[in-house]
Amino acid sequence: MNKRNALKLIAGGAGWAGMAATLGLGLSACGEPKPSFNAVDITGADYARDFSLKDADGKVRTLADFKGKVVVLFFGYAQCPDVCPTTMTEMAQVKQQLGSDGDKLQVLFVTVDPARDTPEVLKAYMGAFDPSFVALIPTADQLVAVAKDFKVYYKKVEGKTPTSYSMDHSAASFVYDADGRLRLYARYGAGAAPMVSDVKALLKS
């Protein structure tokens, strides 16, 4: 074999080796399992990316405050008769069932009834489920803006007296991964077990 042919063979072998390596990397990437969630996967959604609201202690909070934790954010109000206490009870169960990973979960409750949900009311309300749960209290104008950004619905329903009204509102939760990225839309009534599974998956990813 002359020198010229030998060089062609070597070059060809290197090319095939490079192509094989590239294909191997591609196959490896394709073979990586994608997390399977129970809630609706909305990774990459261009809404509900952040907020800036005061908590019950008057401190302004954003998603960056909870970096390193999976965040579950829910819109509700303290006098809600069913959806809100059910959701908060389930989230308390989720945290308990996570065991040692429970500290890596942060539940946020945004009130849609800031007129009645004072800091004192919400501190007591969160404490009834789990002291680590954080209530966020928007002003009336902030509520309009944050509801629009999160694409959630709320409406005041008049009662028999001026203070006995109720609030219709969206009942789902928004779930963020430990890097603060919106990942899941969890519909109401699914129970604690599916959320436990999803939180564990997000903590691993």
Q: Is 195 annotated as a binding residue?
A: no
pLDDT of 187 above 80: yes
Measure the CA–CA gap between 114 and 53, rounded to whole angstroms: 12
Q: What would the 3-class secondary structure string for 149-178 be?
A: HHCCCEEEECCCCCCCCEEEECCCEEEECC
Domain ranges of the chain: 1-32, 40-204
Residue 148 one-letter amino acid: K
Note the pLDDT of residue 21.
Answer: 43
| pLDDT tens sequence across 5-28 | 444 443 444 443 444 444 344 444
Is 169 assigned to a binding site? yes
pLDDT at 205: 83
Q: Is 84 annotated as a binding residue?
A: yes
CATH code for the structural domain at 40-204: 3.40.30.10
**What's the predicted TM-score (pTM) here?**
0.83
**Residues forming a β-bridge with 175:** 72, 184
Q: How far apart are CA 165 and CA 186, in angstroms?
A: 27
Residue 168: phi and psi, rounded to 5, are: -80, 140
